[in-house]
Amino acid sequence: MRIHILGSAAGGGFPQWNCNYSNSKGVREGTLRAKARTQSSIAVSSDNQNWVLFNTSPDIRQQLLNFPEIQPARKLRDTGISAIIFVDSQIDHTTGLLMLREGMPLTVYCTEMVYQDLTTGFPIFKMLTHWNGGVNRHSIPIDGQSFTIPTITDLRFTAIALSSKAPPYSPHRDQPHLGDNIGVFIEDLKTQKSAFYAPGLGEIEAHLLPYMQKADCVLVDGTFWREDELIQTGVGTKCAREIGHLPQSGEDGMIAFLDTLQKPRKVLIHINNTNPILIEDSAERAELTAHHIEVAEDGMDIIL
Ligand code: MLT
Ligand code: MG
């Protein structure tokens, strides 16, 4: 299985267009050891030909240009994107679908809750019906049942319902429902390798453990270093867990949890532009390295 990181930043990207906090300002001005990053999305394939896209970010046009292998050019209009899986209905994970309108109908897999959000609060599925009928949508089971995608060879997917948060425009923003957010366990049936992908993970719940212990790679929520990061940096008022993201630091943070996993390669993804781990010579990045935790960057390949 090949996991290609199309975008490794959280909503807003890095640098964020209107932000002058030292991280965004420093990378914009070239004064920090840090790489710019586009918004959260990965492409996964077992054969380097048929790709399943996890999320479609607002930066998708640039991301696809940066990854020429996903354009096989077999006919006049073509793409290597065989299907799209949404892990939630957040703007940074879904807006790119509008940029793919010329390729409708595209095959999209999402939970019932995400389907509700994308037909009500943020009705992009409805809007896209005006482009060749819109998406060809399939439901993702959240009862632990695995599913396969006919055009994707050798990969099997299992959605795991997560405790995180539906977006502000969701009809269930304040009444969490199973399926608002999922993590996905991805297995390559040929190589027997697996990955667990969860860019939005608010809490480590017991039912996730078997997947995370079994996986060869965990690609998980790297949004915030601190619980009060948005407040401390002055850019916001909410705490990390309040918006569905487990911070890395602290006794019950992501680092402490990842330390308990023996097997997997550990990679953080969906990194917010306020996070000090973006700075390659920061103390926080050194701490991650000491714990054998990597930080995803755009263009990175994970081969399992
Ligand atoms: C989140 O996951 O909380 C986001 O990145 C929010 C957003 O895209 O606005
Ligand atoms: Mg996000």
Quick one: tokens of 3? 């996991």
The verdict on the CB of residue 261 being under 6 Å from ligand 1 is no
The verdict on the CB of residue 90 being under 6 Å from ligand 1 is yes
The secondary structure of 191-254 as a DSSP string is: T--EEEEES------GGGHHHHHH-SEEEEE-S-SSTTHHHHTTS-S--TGGGT---SSSTTSH
Pocket test for ligand 1, best of 57, 91, 224 (most atoms within 8 A of CB): 91
Mean predicted confidence (pLDDT) in 101-106: 98
* ipTM (interface predicted TM): 0.92
**84, 41 Cβ separation under 8 angstroms:** no
The verdict on the CB of residue 167 being under 6 Å from ligand 1 is no
pLDDT score for 165? 82
Report which bound ligand comes closest to the CA of 165: 1
Q: Is the pTM of this model over 0.90?
A: yes
The verdict on the CB of residue 88 being under 6 Å from ligand 1 is no
104 phi and psi, to 5 degrees?
A: -65, 150
Mean predicted confidence (pLDDT) in 112-140: 98
The verdict on the CB of residue 243 being under 6 Å from ligand 1 is yes
Q: Which atom of ligand 1 is nearest to the CA of 91?
A: 8
Q: Which atom of ligand 1 is nearest to the CA of 199?
A: 2
The domains of the chain, with CATH numbers, are 2-303 (3.60.15.10)
| Residue 145 confidence class, pLDDT cut points 50, 70, 90 | very high
Mean predicted confidence (pLDDT) in 107-129: 98
- Spatial neighbors of 282 by CB under 8 A, at least 6 apart, are 276
- Of all protein residues, the one whose alpha carbon is nearest to atom 9 of ligand 1 is 11
The verdict on the CB of residue 160 being under 6 Å from ligand 1 is no
- Of all protein residues, the one whose alpha carbon is nearest to atom 7 of ligand 1 is 11
Say whether the peptide bond before residue 123 is cis (omega within 30 degrees of 0): no
Q: Which residues line ion ligand 2, judged by CB < 5 Å? A: 10-11, 90, 92
Q: Could you identify the residue written with the tokens 């609060």?
A: 121
pLDDT score for 64? 98
SS (H, E, C) 236-248: CCCCCHHHCCCCC
Quick check: 299 pLDDT over 90?
yes
Q: What percent of the chain shows pLDDT beyond 70? A: 100
Measured in whole angstroms, the distance separating CA 170 from the mean position of its chain's CA atoms is 19
The verdict on the CB of residue 200 being under 6 Å from ligand 1 is yes
